A = this chain, B = another copy of it.
Amino acid sequence: MAAFSFNKLVIFGVGLIGGSLARGLRERAGFAGHVVGVGRSVKSVERALELGVIDEAAALDDDAALSRALQGADIVLLAAPVAQTGPLLARIAPFLDARTIVTDAGSTKSDVVAAARQALGARFVPGHPIAGRESSGVDAALPDLYVDRNVVLCPLPENATDDVERVASMWRATGACVRQMSEAQHDRVFASVSHLPHVLSFALVDQILGTPDAELKFSFAADGFRDFTRIAASSPEMWRDICLANRAALLAELDDYTAVLARFRAAIEASDGAALEAAFTRSRVARKEWQKLGGIKPSGDVAAK
């Protein structure tokens, strides 16, 4: 059984991400400390309490409950949509103990860092667990969601090394591999391999919907379409927020992608079979190689802080 460097954990937003952390710590790693869940209303965390995922529920809009929830907290995790980070931090800052470390699970980091620096300074350790499921909410939470998954931490120069290590060890206890990079690098990487594909997938369905024979097209869509558009069934609010939060990096990736597409288009228009085959072959080899490596290749920290 792991020894824990923290005893009281407070999770803001006990859904898939926050709930799986709690379950992973308790059911997988034997964490015996206290877990508090905070929701916009008590009702939103009641289900987590009912499922035994948390020990105590509190409402964000209740000063007394919030104060009690945060008192003596070792680690606070924000697992709410990234757009709420600023308001959330402003709301909880007055109730935080000086020694409490705050971390988050947001999909974008530059915007979160900007908001957190202003509100909390050195006590905020930015993080992003790379895991998800199609279903959301605490009922979808799993104790092993993070096993062999990457959790990216983007430590700030002002963070204490011990604080970063405490957050890292919390995630490691769930079976995750912790990797570090700067927030700018994080946002570039995820704009490329996650945010852009989501936009492209939403766009394909949007395009089909805009044509008079949409129903006919959908009726012939098969396996390729299914996989390509699976992520177009993702949460519109979450992806709206991500697009706005990571706007600069995403626009750069979109422009770069549009240029690649223009190159492909030119080859198709010129009936340049050799160019198409060469490009498709390169992509296929890379995609197969990626798959062979298990899709996700944990290889330790990739960039010095």
Contact = CB atoms under 8 A, between A and B. Distances in A.
A12 interface: no
Contacts of A280: 202, 232, 234, 236, 239-240
A196 B291 CA distance: 22
A236 B284 contact: yes
Contact of A273 (B231, B240, B284): B240
Interface in A243-297: 243-244, 247, 250-251, 253-258, 260-261, 264-265, 268-269, 271, 273, 276-277, 279-284, 286-288, 290-291, 295-297
Contacts of A237: 277
Contacts of A202: 264, 279-280, 283-284
A302 B193 contact: no
A253 B204 CA distance: 10
Contacts of A225: 193-194, 197
Contacts of A260: 203, 206-207, 210
Nearest to A247: B268
A254 to B, nearest CB: 5
Interface in A217-240: 217-237, 239-240
A264 B219 contact: no
A222 B296 contact: yes
A208 interface: yes
Interface of A: 130-132, 149-150, 152, 185, 188-190, 192-194, 196-211, 213-214, 216-237, 239-241, 243-244, 247, 250-251, 253-258, 260-261, 264-265, 268-269, 271, 273, 276-277, 279-284, 286-288, 290-291, 295-299, 302
Given A203-B283, A235-B284, A250-B268, 4 more contacts: A194-B221, A208-B286, A214-B286, A241-B273
